[in-house]
Amino acid sequence: MTTELSPADKAKFVAAKRAVEFVESGMRVGLGTGSTAAWMVRLLGQRVREEGLKIVGVATSSQTAALAGREGIEVVSLDEARWLDLTIDGADEFDPDLNLIKGGGGALLREKIVATASDQMIVITDASKEVAHLGAFPLPVEVIPFGWQTSKALIEEMLVSLDVMGREVSLRMNGEAPFVTDEGNRILDLRLGRIGNPHQMAMVLNQVPGVVENGLFMDICDRVIVGHGDGRVETRDIHSGEVETRLFDFEEPDNLFADLGR
């Protein structure tokens, strides 16, 4: 039941619920990765089953693809879809200009490719992810396995000349082994504290040999939907500057939340 959801889960749920209202039949939709995006995929699946919503999804990870398939959403590759109407995804941080840090779940490369191949990107999140300046969350950088230590050293050298508060760079681990992305790469996490010039950071990082992509999503997001534990949802549009506030109640059928809790 909804009353059993934690405030954090309620915030994720209402943000996802508002986001799926933007999805219309016939759309090609990018499906994000992460805990908040998983609620969105399940809610889309509910619309597919109960409303006959006709969409094609492009997943940003194998995990999301598997979830979407279980929910009855048709999943195709980005090459098959070619271009998307909308991508809905989460974020680890967002600033007042709706620039993002993403990649906490390790899917930043596919997430960025899918987001930039979309007419619109909607980010669903909770209020804890809003920051005045990006950088409190470790910035993920995807690197190829060959020579990753050289790439790490080059990044550390590069950071000396940039406006950041910290310069710790570490290889992301999965237990005792390095974390491996869906593309077979590694991730370096940069603990920077604050990024003074994220546009410059994004550009410079991608010039380092061995770097595939970084987790700074600059000028990509069109809307941020911020959920709150009391059911409030704020939708912020970067283009119009408008902020819409709505309140969702939690008097929903129990079977919906049994579905969401799978």
State the catalytic residues.
Answer: 111
Instruction: Find the Cα–Cα–Cα–Cα dihedral 140, 39, 20, 14, rounded to 10°.
Output: -100
What would the two tokens of residue 46 be?
A: 């509910």
Break the chain down into helix, strand, coil percent, rounded to 5. 35, 25, 40
Residues 6+ apart with CB under 8 A from 112: 102, 213, 217, 220
Do 163 and 197 touch, CB atoms closer than 8 A? yes
Rounded distance between C-alpha atoms, residue 121 and residue 177, angstroms: 33
Residues 6+ apart with CB under 8 A from 252: 2
Cα angle at 135 between 211 and 151, to 5 degrees? 20
Burial of 115 (0-12, 13-18, 19+ CB in 10 A): buried
Helices (H), 21-71: 35-51, 62-70
| Distance of alpha carbon 133 from the chain centroid | 18
Residues 6+ apart with CB under 8 A from 195: 133, 134, 135, 139, 163, 164, 201, 216
What would the two tokens of residue 176 be?
A: 């005792």
